[in-house]
Chain A
Amino acid sequence: MRETVQVLLGTKKGAFVLESDAARTAWDLRGPYCETWPINHVIADPATGALYGAGGNAWFGPAVWRSTDGGTTWTHSSRGLAYAAGEAPVASVWSLAAGHGRLYAGVEPAGLFVSDDAGESWTHVEGLQRTPSRPEWNPGGAGLILHSLVLHPDDPKQIWVGISAAGVFHTADGGETWEPRNRGTRADFMPEGQNYPEHGQCVHCLVMAPGKPERLYQQNHCGMYRSDDGGRSWASVEKGLPSSFGFPAAVHPRDPERLFLVPLNGDTAGRYMPDAQAAVWRTEDGGGAWTAAREGLPQRNAFFNVLRQALATDRLAPAGVYFGTGSGEVYASRDEGGAWTRIAEHLPTISSVETFVARG
């Protein structure tokens, strides 16, 4: 059966799609889509093949865009994607996740919405606002954003969210109640002695290991962490990395021990590639040891960054790995992150990279 790989890009000025056959050697670029709105996240619902783009426009506000023809045509909706009258309105949609027949959206200011009609209309998951620490949440540099959205593969009532800079929260009852899950993660920006609070950590990206729902990884503003108990406790796995700072993390499609990162040089050092030499860092043992992959990546004057949702893997074998840069380049590996090729350039700032393998 013929397989087509789509790399879905959210950018500051629209959504784009890179497409190839399973060989992943020649790529066509399509776009911009979504009327050049800032699009923070583009996903495909694996159950239906529908594409969704999340964003917000300075003129017209937040919306989720949908395409059911592979990106050729798009519609948008924000029906119900709103807080109560009088409250600070939803500014933008930051993250999407499809699963169990539902579509979830994380927004700024931090909140969670759910759609049961493929993004036509939305319902506020109000329980998250009732979290006791909610009045104390403070925004990170990009705002008070709900950027990481992790659904349990088997239990539709379990969801993890990552909010900058409130931390990781988990619900086991479909969103009615939430508890913070930040034990063991640092907040270096807090006064001495207060560096391990219950909440307030600056999580940058939260991902779940394949086939192992209790195994989570998070790239934090202050370190890289792994949890083997669904986020109840976290252990640092940053030893061997060039920096404790970075934005994205991506899991291997099948091996829960394998993870990909793109560490940056530090939060006060420019936030670009360490020593201006680009590398993707890989572990094959859950973060015990790390190695850098540099083949095909620029090794001098690489002053770009990679944002929190801009690193992804595909589900082919060997797995493809992809990242998009703040300066509009997309790099791809078709050998599990070993060797890299630039497959697009001159795009707007890339906010997100996701993949979809279509069969037909």
Chain B
Amino acid sequence: MGDAFPRPVCVRLPALFDALFPGVERRLELEAATVAELVDALEARWPGMRDRICDSRPQIRKHINVFVDGRRVRLDAALLPGADVFILTAISGG
């Protein structure tokens, strides 16, 4: 489905990724039909990025939030063409 009809979405990555993945583009367009596919695409581009966003259950890490068009979603959420995806660090720490 995704292969026949490219579905670019706009994704923004956390500012802290600048240090974890030197040279990372923090705003980019990728083709993905779900959040899980989006994470696959990020991993292919920056190996290791999946582990920072997701745990091994697999699910989005507890203190990472993925918002799609303003709504917090899970890995299985569908992405419509042109969707705005924000991957953000939640409030955490001490």
Measured CA separation A320–B58 after assembly (Å): 46
Q: Chain B contact residues: over half helix, strand or loop, or mixed?
A: loop
Q: Are A85 and B48 in contact (CB under 8 A)?
A: no
Chain B residues near A76: list those with CB within 8 A: 20, 48
The interface size bin for chain B is 20 to 34
Q: Are A78 and B19 in contact (CB under 8 A)?
A: no
Minimum CB–CB distance for A245 against chain B, Å: 26
Stretch of A58-66, A159-167, A175-183 with 4 or more beta carbons under 8 angstroms from chain B = A58-66
Chain B residues 12-71 with CB under 8 Å of chain A are 14, 16, 19-20, 47-48, 51-52, 55-58, 61-64
Q: Are A61 and B93 in contact (CB under 8 A)?
A: no
Given contacts A82-B56, A85-B57, contact A60 B93 (CB under 8 A): no
Chain B residue nearest in CB terms to A12: B94
Question: B90: CB under 8 A from chain A?
Answer: yes
Number of CB contacts from chain A to chain B under 8 A: 51
Chain A residue nearest in CB terms to B56: A82
The contact of B56 among A58, A60, A63, A89, by CB within 8 Å, is A89
The contact of B92 among A35, A59, A87, A90, by CB within 8 Å, is A59
Chain B residues near A60: list those with CB within 8 A: 16, 20, 51-52, 61, 64
Chain B residue nearest in CB terms to A89: B55
Q: Are A59 and B64 in contact (CB under 8 A)?
A: yes
Chain A residues near B55: list those with CB within 8 A: 61, 82, 89
Number of contacting residues on A, CB 8 A? 19
The contact of B51 among A35, A79, A83, A87, by CB within 8 Å, is A79
Measured CA separation A280–B61 after assembly (Å): 41
Greatest chain B CB density within 10 A among A35, A60, A76, A79 is at: A60
Measured CA separation A59–B87 after assembly (Å): 12
Q: Are A35 and B16 in contact (CB under 8 A)?
A: yes
A residues at B contact (CB < 8 Å): 35, 58-61, 63, 76-79, 81-87, 89-90
13 A-B residue pairs with CB within 8 Å: A58-B62, A59-B16, A59-B52, A59-B61, A59-B64, A59-B92, A60-B20, A60-B64, A61-B51, A78-B48, A87-B57, A89-B55, A90-B56
B residues at A contact (CB < 8 Å): 14, 16, 19-20, 47-48, 51-52, 55-58, 61-64, 89-90, 92-93
9 closest cross-chain pairs (CB), A and B: A82-B56, A89-B55, A60-B52, A58-B92, A89-B56, A78-B51, A59-B63, A59-B89, A58-B63
